[in-house]
Copies of this chain bind each other. A is one copy, B any other.
Amino acid sequence: MKNYSIARSRRLRSTPYTSRIEKQGVTAYTSYNHMLLPAAFGSLEDSYRHLKENVQVWDVAGERQVEISGKDSGKLVQLMTCRDLSKSKIGRCYYCPIIDDKAGIINDPVILKLGEDRWWISIADSDVILFAKGLAIGKKFDVKIFEPNVDILAVQGPKSFALMEKIFGKKITEMKFFGFDYFEFAGAKHLIAKSGWSKQGGYEIYVENTESGLALYDKLFEVGKEFNVKAGCPNLIERIESALLSYGNDMDNDDNPLECGLDKYVNLDTDINFLGKEKLKEIKKKGVTRKLMGVVIDAKEINVSKSINLINGKNSKIGELRSGTYSPHFKKVIGIAMIDKPYFEVSETFKISINDDVFEGKVCDLPFI
């Protein structure tokens, strides 16, 4: 597949780390919330192997924050998500589907409770701030909504714990998964969460003080030498093998959380008030008519740049592939697909056309295991 350049501009702006990752060998970008997000440092497969054994530092500044504070902030945040936040605690992160009144997914952020009346919505790629502003204006909520100057650095991989301990001390290894706390570095306090968009373990550093964050970036590479640290980015192979869903790829505003297997974040049996609640009750009662599933395809290569139809032996469309990659682990192409009823019930086979060739595939459960 031919490579095309990405055109730079303020509209698709650089991050504070861009000049560093360009010295460190970034080769491809994507856009994420109107910012450059690194997508490759040379071979995806080399980065995947490195990530699973070592530690990487990622420029994920594109994961922007929507800060919501004020008297009605809790009410607004709860209104936007089907996950029950009534027992949420300060210092914890919550994975929360944000949905509209038709139960269509608008984003799938991690929400950080910073205080009783202060939240960060750490967003996937859509302008959640506009939805929050529209709702707050329409409902006359007493809230303040803005995008703070936060540029996340992720430290991911099995050696991330040892690396971070060397810099921040033992306390950082004692944090629970999806907990966060504040740590001092070079004269600034950084919010650090035990989280990240891989299944290899690690942290996300919410850098508010850019100068200190850049010093920390350099420190991570200096101290990280003994752990074989490299610059990296969310890795397509690792995230699909781990079945980490990607908003905009695997699901979008035309899908609801029950179709996407997010049932455990859909809390219908409480008296909390959120958009799309009645719609979700109705969908749950009737049962979903399609479902996000795994697929395994007998092929060695794939590039997904839009949905690709999956066709069965009777020439019927059984669903569409939304993400895919060659998996070194499974030695086949694996992917995430929206499969129509009744095909999601069985180990259905299908054909798929990739670069004008036809390949055989099979539906499977997620995660792939």
| Interface residue ranges, A against B (CB under 8 Å) | 1-14, 18, 22, 26-31, 34, 36, 39-40, 100-101, 106, 125-139, 246-249, 253, 275, 303-307, 322-323
Contacts and interface: CB of A to CB of B under 8 A. Distances in A.
A8 B127 contact: no
Given A6-B4, A29-B7, A34-B248, A14 B130 contact: no
Nearest to A132: B134
A2 B275 CA distance: 46
Given A131-B133, A139-B138, A29 B4 contact: yes
A12 B30 CA distance: 8
Contacts of A246: 9, 11
A17 to B, nearest CB: 12
Contacts of A322: 10
19 contacts: A4-B6, A6-B6, A7-B40, A8-B303, A8-B305, A9-B30, A9-B246, A9-B323, A10-B305, A30-B31, A36-B305, A100-B133, A126-B130, A130-B131, A131-B134, A134-B135, A134-B136, A134-B137, A135-B138
Given A106-B130, A125-B34, A100 B137 contact: yes
B275 A137 contact: yes
Q: Which of A29, A34, A137 has the most CB of B within 10 A?
A: A137
A350 to B, nearest CB: 18
A103 to B, nearest CB: 12
A139 B139 CA distance: 7
A306 B14 CA distance: 6
A57 to B, nearest CB: 18
Contacts of A1: 8
Contact of A13 (B6, B127, B130, B306): B306
A97 to B, nearest CB: 15
A5 B7 contact: no
Q: Which of A10, A125, A131 has the most CB of B within 10 A?
A: A10
A127 B134 CA distance: 12
B4 A27 contact: yes
Contacts of A18: 305
Contact of A305 (B14, B40, B137, B306): B14
A31 B12 contact: yes
Given A34-B125, A100-B133, A27 B40 contact: no
A195 to B, nearest CB: 21
Nearest to A15: B306
Nearest to A134: B134
A253 B33 CA distance: 14
Contacts of A125: 11, 34
A12 B246 CA distance: 12
Contacts of A34: 125-126, 248
Nearest to A248: B11
